[in-house]
């Protein structure tokens, strides 16, 4: 009996130590932030911060399993903004204006306004890294010729939350997927950061949402300041050498007015390394790709090796032209997003210490060599009609 009493007493004493989730907060008491934006205020000095907050009550389902809020409805989220001298002060003001606790743990996207990015993003990234609620897997994008605040207000046709649409585009394999961890690592190294630009375009085919968001153009930085945009062929060229491209389709115009051929990217391997010749660094870029024929809109029979060779040469010329355009612009801007300086620091530390004071000028005139290898397969059984 005494043994049973001692057992019960120990169980009762142990239960006093089981406090449960003492700091838990019910979801209906939280303001769940899914996306944030940061801009320069009108005075050019203060920070204009915006948060996109999900309406949790609107994101559930009805009894039949259908969404209670239609896709793309602005009722699924709201946007709150405030101004302050620092990013932390802005968040504090927004938090004070809301009846619920602001929760940043589910933030998926950070949008940086172009003017703010040109002034410098060092303070913003310092806050992101130090914030215990901030996830370093949050994607970072820069608003193309626009304020971040406006980007947070554009709904999506296919997603209830615009942040979810941006994340899906980032994960598509056809654009750069740069999160806060990667951006901060670039910022604190001997290279320069880069990320995708986000742009508003007019969607004339949609009556419900006349405006939509797209990830287009590449923002390149020099240290923590935005210096330029890679657009068109230059942006595509940087994608080729960034090791981010996994999905792509190309159409090439063949010589002598023979027509066009469309191909789909099968695989791509890219590398770049620095070779020091007579004390001067030179950059070598290697690219090996495999394409599959998607459509033959030419008069050529692609079962003939000579015709396939023509397609391969056209693709090779196009890719090399795009990469060359990207490198020429980066060298002109003296921006080093490929990490050439990092490689010199790692493998040639003595040379780097000598070159570092004038590295930017030397980088702008550094020779670049290209080795582009293109293979095309799956010509199919159909010849030209």
Residue 8 lies in a domain: no
CATH of the domain at 292: 3.30.300.210
* 64 is a domain residue: no
Same domain, 132 and 47: yes
> Which alpha helices (H) appear in the chain, and where do they start and end?
2-15, 87-97, 114-119, 122-130, 148-151, 162-170, 180-187, 232-241, 305-333, 340-347, 349-355, 359-364
φ and ψ of 145, to 5 deg: 55, 40
Q: Using DSSP bridges, classify how beta strands 77-84 and 101-103 pair: parallel, antiparallel or unpaired.
A: unpaired
Q: Could you tell me if 55 and 118 lie in one domain?
A: yes
**Based on the domain organization, do 240 and 224 belong to the same domain?**
no
Q: Is 43 contained in some domain?
A: yes
**Per-residue model confidence as pLDDT tens for the chain (385 residues):** 556 655 665 666 565 555 555 455 565 678 899 999 999 999 888 999 999 999 876 665 443 444 444 454 447 899 999 999 999 999 999 998 888 888 888 999 999 999 999 999 999 999 999 988 888 999 999 999 999 999 999 988 888 899 999 999 999 988 999 999 999 999 999 999 999 999 998 876 666 667 889 999 999 999 999 999 999 999 999 999 998 888 899 999 998 888 999 999 999 999 999 999 988 999 999 999 999 999 998 888 888 889 999 999 999 999 999 999 999 999 999 999 999 999 999 999 999 999 999 999 999 999 999 999 999 988 765 555 5
Among 84, 82, 79, 106, CA closest to 94: 82
Residues 251 and 342 in one domain: yes
Q: Are 158 and 183 members of one domain?
A: yes
Please report the pLDDT score of residue 99 as a whole number: 86
150-175 per-residue burial string, b: 16 or more CB within 10 A, e: under 16: bbbbbbbeebbbbbbbbbebbeeebb
Phi, psi of 173 (to 5 degrees): 90, 0
- β-bridge mates for residue 215, sequence order: 198
| pLDDT recorded at residue 64 | 40
Residues 226 and 238 in one domain: no
Q: Is the dihedral of CA 10, 13, 17, 22 positive or negative?
A: positive
Q: Are strands 47-54 and 77-84 parallel, antiparallel or unpaired?
A: antiparallel
Specify if 169 maps to a domain: yes
Q: Is residue 297 part of a domain?
A: yes
Count structural domains, the chain. Answer: 2
Are 44 and 106 contained in the same domain?
yes
Q: What is the pLDDT of residue 250?
A: 92
263 and 340 part of one domain? yes
Helices (H), 98-251: 114-119, 122-130, 148-151, 162-170, 180-187, 232-241
What span, in angstroms and rounded, lies between the C-alpha atoms of 6 and 297?
87
The verdict on 298 and 208 lying in the same domain is no
> Of how many residues is the chain composed?
385
Distance CA 107, CA 111 (A): 11
* Domain's final residue, options 200, 230, 260: 230
**What is the domain range of residue 248?**
232-385
- The verdict on 242 and 379 lying in the same domain is yes
The per-residue pLDDT for 52 is 95
Closest CA to 232 of 321, 137, 120, 140: 321
For tokens 């907050």, the residue is 53
Report residue 117: phi and psi, to 5°: -65, -35
Task: Give the domain-ending residue among 168, 201, 230.
Answer: 230
Closest by Cα among 238, 243, 251, 276 to 366: 276
Please check whether residues 78 and 174 belong to one and the same domain: yes
Q: What pLDDT score does 206 carry?
A: 62
Q: Which residues pair with 219 in a beta bridge?
A: 195, 229
CA distance 156 to 201: 12
In a domain, 200, yes or no: yes
Q: Report CA torsion sign: 125, 131, 133, 135.
A: positive
Kindly state whether residue 187 falls inside one of the protein's structural domains: yes
8 A C-beta contact, residue 47 and residue 83 = yes
d(CA 80, CA 51): 5
Among candidate residues 208, 230, 252, the one where a domain is terminated: 230
CA dihedral 88, 141, 154, 235 (to 10 degrees): 160
Residue 286: name the closest of 243, 330, 325, 246 by CA. 243
User: Angle at Cα 271 formed by Cα 266 and Cα 275, nearest 5°?
Assistant: 155
In a domain, 65, yes or no: no
29 CB-near residues (< 8 Å, 6+ apart)? 100, 101
Residues 271 and 305 reside in one and the same domain: yes
């Amino acid at each position: 009996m005494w043994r049973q009493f001692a057992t019960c007493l120990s169980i009762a004493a142990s239960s006093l130590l089981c406090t449960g989730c003492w700091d838990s907060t019910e979801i209906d008491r939280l303001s769940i932030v899914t996306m944030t934006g940061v801009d320069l205020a009108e005075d050019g000095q203060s920070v204009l911060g915006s948060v996109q907050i999900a309406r949790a009550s609107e994101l559930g389902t009805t009894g039949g399993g259908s969404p209670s809020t239609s896709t793309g409805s602005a009722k699924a989220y709201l946007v709150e903004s405030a101004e302050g001298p620092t990013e932390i002060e802005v968040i504090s003001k927004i938090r004070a204006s809301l009846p619920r606790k602001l929760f940043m743990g589910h933030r998926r996207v950070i949008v940086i306004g172009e003017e703010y990015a040109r002034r410098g993003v060092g303070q913003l990234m310092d806050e992101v890294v130090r914030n215990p609620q901030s996830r370093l897997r949050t994607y970072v994008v820069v608003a193309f010729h626009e304020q971040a605040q406006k980007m947070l207000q554009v709904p999506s046709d296919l997603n209830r939350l615009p942040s979810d649409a941006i994340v899906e585009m980032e994960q598509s394999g056809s654009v750069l997927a740069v999160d806060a961890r990667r951006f901060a690592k670039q910022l604190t190294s001997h290279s320069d950061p880069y990320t995708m630009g986000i742009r508003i375009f007019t969607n004339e085919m949609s009556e419900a949402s006349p405006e939509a968001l797209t990830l287009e153009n590449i923002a390149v930085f020099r240290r923590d300041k935005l210096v330029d945009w890679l657009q068109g062929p230059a942006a595509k060229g940087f994608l080729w050498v960034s090791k981010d491209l996994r999905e792509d389709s190309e159409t090439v115009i063949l010589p002598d007015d023979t027509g066009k051929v469309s191909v789909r990217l099968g695989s791509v391997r890219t590398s770049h390394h620095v070779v020091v010749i007579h004390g001067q660094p030179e950059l070598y870029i290697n690219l090996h790709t495999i394409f599959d024929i998607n459509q033959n809109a030419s008069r050529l029979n692609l079962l003939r090796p000579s015709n396939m060779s023509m397609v391969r040469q056209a693709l090779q010329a196009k890719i090399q032209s795009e990469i060359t355009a990207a490198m020429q612009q980066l060298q002109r801007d003296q921006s080093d997003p490929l990490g050439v300086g990092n490689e010199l620091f790692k493998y040639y530390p003595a040379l780097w210490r000598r070159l570092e004071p004038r590295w930017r000028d030397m980088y702008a005139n550094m020779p670049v060599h290209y080795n582009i290898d293109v293979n095309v397969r799956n010509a199919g059984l159909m010849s030209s009609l």
